[in-house]
Amino acid sequence: GENVEQHPSTLSVQEGDSAVIKCTYSDSASNYFPWYKQELGKGPQLIIDIRSNVGEKKDQRIAVTLNKTAKHFSLHITETQPEDSAVYFCAASSRNDMRFGAGTRLTVKP
Amino acid sequence: DTEVTQTPKHLVMGMTNKKSLKCEQHMGHRAMYWYKQKAKKPPELMFVYSYEKLSINESVPSRFSPECPNSSLLNLHLHALQPEDSALYLCASSLMLQGSGELFFGEGSRLTVL
């Protein structure tokens, strides 16, 4: 089955700086790569996703890149704000199997 | 309406109790999921329903019993739980079976087993 590794486990940045979270996956059949943000006391919420036929996708301050050859994908957040503080999960999904990374706790210091 | 609604938000039960968690969505999604999330861990898949039929059971102990009465509702019946079952239980839905699109999560039901 799929195995997803996520780094770092914690990340602290100053407001306005960029944050990068990296994930690797093992199953070459995986073709859908979502990123979820989970705030305290809430369920995970999709913030951006990418499919295997695309190398990069951007939505305002958030971007995701995918390298299928190397089996890794990354989340980039620019101009970070305190409200970006949360736990971020990457996931990799093939037909019927979505696996989450272990999560990254991002803290943005004002 | 893009919400998945879970009740109750908090539940405390003894090891001999029987209780149920409920989940509802009105987005016309045909796949619904139960996940278990322990503190500082990612969600772990428990059950998947597709078109109201149980599609995936991730070897979950029988003290957890899922039910999908219709395409909008998903229940998780709890009986004879152990303290280690204390966790956040998340319901999710997607248009079709996972792998092809976004999972919409509810806020979760925080379960404490005494």
Query: Which of B4, B92, B99 faces A32 most closely, judged by CB atoms?
Result: B99
DSSP state of A15: T
The distance in angstroms from the start CA to the end CA of chain A is 41
Q: 3-class DSSP state for residue A84?
A: helix
Tell me how far apart the alpha carbons of residues A50 and A65 are, in angstroms, rounded to a whole number: 8
Taking the C-alpha atoms of residue A86 and residue B92, their distance in angstroms, rounded to an integer, is 20
Count of CB atoms situated within 10 Å of the CB of A27? 16
Rounded to the nearest angstrom, the gap between the alpha carbon of residue A43 and the centroid of all alpha carbons in its chain is 16
Which chain B residues are within 8 Å of A46, Cβ to Cβ?
102-104
φ, ψ of residue B29 in degrees (nearest 5)? -70, 140
Share of chain B above pLDDT 90, in %: 86
| Cα A12 from Cα A102, distance rounded (Å) | 17
Residue B1's pLDDT band, with cuts at 50, 70 and 90, is low
Task: Residue B94: list chain A partners with CB under 8 A.
Answer: none
CB pair distance less than 8 Å for A43 and B107? yes
Task: Tell me which residue in B40, B42, B102 faces A100 most closely, judged by beta carbons.
Answer: B42
Neighbours of A60 (CB within 10 A): 9
Strands B109-113 and B10-13: parallel
Express each pLDDT in A8-54 by its tens digit.
Answer: 999 999 999 999 999 999 999 899 999 999 999 899 999 999 998 88
Closest in B42, B48, B103 to A102, CB measured: B42
Check whether B15 has a pLDDT greater than 70: yes
Chain B closest CA to A30's CA: distance in Å? 8
pLDDT, tens digit, 9 for 90 and up, residues B17-70: 999 999 999 999 999 999 999 999 999 999 999 999 999 898 999 999 999 999
Average pLDDT, chain B: 93
Residue A84 φ then ψ, to 5°: -80, -10
Q: Quick count: other Cβ atoms within 10 Å of Cβ B32?
A: 27
